[in-house]
Amino acid sequence: GAGVSQSPSNKVTEKGKDVELRCDPISGHTALYWYRQSLGQGLEFLIYFQGNSAPDKSGLPSDRFSAERTGGSVSTLTIQRTQQEDSAVYLCASSSWTSRGQPQHFGDGTRLSIL
């Protein structure tokens, strides 16, 4: 597609449920990133994929968070046993990885609300 696509755009769920967030990067972009934006913490890096592997998972806040990427394209971020502090906007970005510094292009995010 023309840009990074994320779904759903909004998700409301009860505490303790599992959620899956999807990201479809720009076609041909080999690098994919997940960030979280919340009022108290600003924009935080979660995880980075190059192809299907994740060289940097350092931002995942707990073992309840996991992500995978298949076929070098779509990625899903899964949050298990959601807590209220997981409420945030989850942003996905992609970039072409021909050299360092390629800019990251963001989707519109998934707004997650935990009741």
Partner 1 sequence: GEDVEQSLFLSVREGDSSVINCTYTDSSSTYLYWYKQEPGAGLQLLTYIFSNMDMKQDQRLTVLLNKKDKHLSLRIADTQTGDSAIYFCAEGGGGNKLTFGTGTQLKVEL
Which residues would be at the binding site for partner 1 (CB under 8 A)? 4, 6, 31, 33, 35, 42-43, 45, 48, 50, 55-56, 59, 91, 93, 100-101, 103-109
Task: Report the nearest approach of partner 1 to the CB of residue 16 (Å).
Answer: 27
In the bound state with partner 1, the residue whose beta carbon lies nearer, of 70 and 100, is 100
Rg (alpha carbons) of the chain, rounded to whole number: 13
| 3-state secondary structure (DSSP) of residue 93 | strand
Q: How many beta carbons lie within 10 A of that of residue 20, not counting itself?
A: 13
Task: Report the nearest approach of partner 1 to the CB of residue 99 (Å).
Answer: 10
